[in-house]
Amino acid sequence: MDILIIGSGPSAAGVAMALSQHPDVTIRVLDVGGRLEERNNEARQRMSASEPEQWLGTDLDLVGKVARPSKQHRLPEKLNFGSSFPFDDFGQLSDVHGEGTVNTQVISGAYGGFSNTWGAQTMVNSSASFDDWPFSRAELEPDYRAILSTIPYSGEEDDLAEYFPLWGPADPLPPLAENATRVLDRYARHRLRVRRHGVIVGKSRLALRGSSCVSCGLCLTGCPYSLVYSASQTFDRLIAEQRVAYTSGYVALALGESSGRPHVDVRHVASGRTETVHADKIFVACGSIGTTRLVGGSLEMWSEPIHLQESVQFLMPFASLRGTKKLSQDDSFTLNQFNIVLPFDEAGRDLVQIHAYPYNKAMEDAVPGLLRSAMLRGLKDIALKHLTVGLGYLPSWWSAGFDVTLQKPPAPNEPVQVLISPSTSAHDESSTRLRAVNARLLRAAPHLGVVPILPMVAFSAPGKSYHFGGSFPHSRSPQSGRASDVLGRVHPWQNVHLVDASVFPTVTATTFTLTIMANAHRIARQVVEESRRG
C-alpha cells in the first residue's frame, strides 16, 4: 500500500509511527519543510557536542535569544534557537489574513511544525471529555500508550492521575525551580484544604528526556541536546531507517479523488511549477487551519464562515508570598513546572488547567514599563523574584472560538485566500468562567502561597492559544462536507483522511498535542486494519 502524508507536524508523526510498523506499507511525506537558518544550526550543533561550561559566548548569545515582544498580543513571540522559523512564511501563509487582533501565524511551514517551539505539555485527556466524541478514551488508550512509549516522557504519579493517568514509562522531572517546589510542598501540607476549594495541583507531564537534562535554562528557546520532543525527531529516525521518503519545498493546493484513487495538486515553492501526486491513501496533516484551507478549498466551500473551536488561552501571573533567592534561569529547566487543575464537575469534563512557569528572561517584558527604568531596576528584580507565570485554558464549549472564511483564488494554481475573524457566535462563557477560576484561586492562595495578580489576568487574542480545531469534526453519521467519519474522511472522499485537530469534536482545556498524535495514530492504525480486512 502506497501512503502519502501531507505535513510533518505532530499529527503526521502519529500517522508515521503507526504505519512504520507495517513493512509492506510505503510511506511518502510531502512537506513545506522550512529549516533553522544554517548559522543558528551550526551554533546549536557545536553546543550539543559539548558541556554548558564549554559553550562559546557567541553561540549562546545567538541561540539563547529570548522571545521577542509581540506587536499584537500580550504574550511575546517565541524564538527557537534564536530564529522565528516555526512561524515564518515559506509559502504556506500566502493570502492568510486576519481581522482585528486575531493571530494569523497559524500554519507552520517548518519541518516538524509548531512542535519545534511548543511547551511540551503531555497529558491524556480525561475520560469524560470524550463524552462528546463518537468514541471513548478507552478506544484511544492503545494509541496513547503507543505514542508515550515512543517519545521522551517525564512525569510523576500524583493527584493529577485521577483524571490523567500516566500510561507510559516516565522519567522523573529535573529539579524544579524554587517557587515551584515551594508551591508543591505547601499543596502537600494543605492538600485537603486546597481541594475543598476545587483546586488540584500536580507536577508537569512533559515530552522531555528528564533523566538526561542538564538544567541549562534554555528549554523555552531550544534545547541544544534535543531532549525536548519535536515531530522532526520522529521523521529524522524514520528517514534514517529508510521507512519514510521525505520531500520538502512543496505547498499543497487541492485534493481530489477519482475512482477511489486520491491525489493532491502541489506547487514547488522555489520554481512555481505544479504537479499532481497520487497515492492509495492520503493523510492530511497540515494543522487545523492548513487542513481547513486545503479541504474547504477543494470542496469549494467559498464565502461561508467555517467555525473553529478554540480552547481560549489566558495569561495569569501569580505573586509568591516569598521570593526566590536569585533571579536567574541558569542551572534550571524552564518548561512548565506544575499544573493547577480546577474541575467544575465530578466527572472531569469541565476542567480548567493552568500551566505554571518559573522565571525566564522573557518575563521581563511583562513588568510595568516604569520598573524597567535603570533607576528602579532593583524594584523590578524584587518583583520578578516573586513572579510565577501561568498560562491557562478554558474548554472550547466555554469559549467563542473564531471563524475562517475561504475565497476562491484569483488564478489557477494559487493558494486559497483565508480570512480569520472573531466568531459572531453568542456562545461565549469565557469571562464568567474566568471569574469563577479567579475566585477559587483566591480562596486557595493562603494555602498555596501564590496569589493571582487579577489586574494582569487577560485573555489572549483569537488563535493565539494554538489549541483549536473542529472544522470537520468526527461523527458517526457525518453530514456532507461538514463533518468527518471516525477515520477522518469527508464526503465524497473514501481514501483521503484528515488526521490533525480539524477532526476534533471539542477542544479541552487540558494538554493538546498528545491527543492529536494519539488520534492520528488511531486513524492510521485502523485504516491499515480495514484495508487488511477489505
**Residue 57 and residue 73 in contact, taking contact as beta carbons nearer than 8 Å:** no
| Whole-number pLDDT of residue 371 | 45
Range of the domain at 176: 156-224+313-393+424-461
Is 58 strand, coil or helix? Answer: helix
Does 81 fall in a domain? no
Cis preceding-peptide flag for 415 (omega within 30 of 0): no
Does 102 fall in a domain? yes
Please tell me whether residues 210 and 252 are part of one structural domain: no
* Claim: this prediction has a pTM higher than 0.85: yes
Please tell me whether residues 407 and 504 are part of one structural domain: yes
| Whole-number pLDDT of residue 481 | 72
Does 123 fall in a domain? yes
CATH number at residue 455: 3.30.410
Does 64 fall in a domain? no
Question: For 453, what's the count of Cα atoms within 13 Å in the CB-facing half-sphere?
Answer: 18
Please tell me whether residues 245 and 287 are part of one structural domain: yes
Please tell me whether residues 271 and 339 are part of one structural domain: no
Please tell me whether residues 477 and 335 are part of one structural domain: no
| Whole-number pLDDT of residue 71 | 55
Q: How far is CA 295 from the centre of its chain?
A: 21
Closest by Cα among 298, 194, 288 to 252: 298
| Whole-number pLDDT of residue 333 | 87
- What's the angle, vertex CA 468, arms to CA 143 and CA 419, rounded to 5? 140
**Count of domains forming the chain:** 2
**Residue 250 and residue 268 in contact, taking contact as beta carbons nearer than 8 Å:** yes
| Whole-number pLDDT of residue 322 | 84
Does 487 fall in a domain? yes
Please tell me whether residues 294 and 408 are part of one structural domain: yes
| Whole-number pLDDT of residue 383 | 76
Please tell me whether residues 235 and 278 are part of one structural domain: yes
Please tell me whether residues 207 and 233 are part of one structural domain: no
**Which residue ranges in the chain fall short of pLDDT 70?**
67-76, 327-330, 362-380, 425-426, 534
Closest by Cα among 112, 86, 496 to 294: 496
| Whole-number pLDDT of residue 74 | 57
Closest by Cα among 452, 424, 471, 461 to 352: 452
| Whole-number pLDDT of residue 89 | 95
Does 73 fall in a domain? no
Does 494 fall in a domain? yes
Torsion angle, CA of 200/201/203/204, rounded to 10 degrees?
A: 70
Please tell me whether residues 287 and 365 are part of one structural domain: no
Please tell me whether residues 9 and 97 are part of one structural domain: yes
CATH number at residue 236: 3.50.50.60
Please tell me whether residues 281 and 270 are part of one structural domain: yes
Going by the DSSP 8-state scheme, the letter that residue 388 receives in this structure is: E
Please tell me whether residues 320 and 271 are part of one structural domain: no
Does 279 fall in a domain? yes
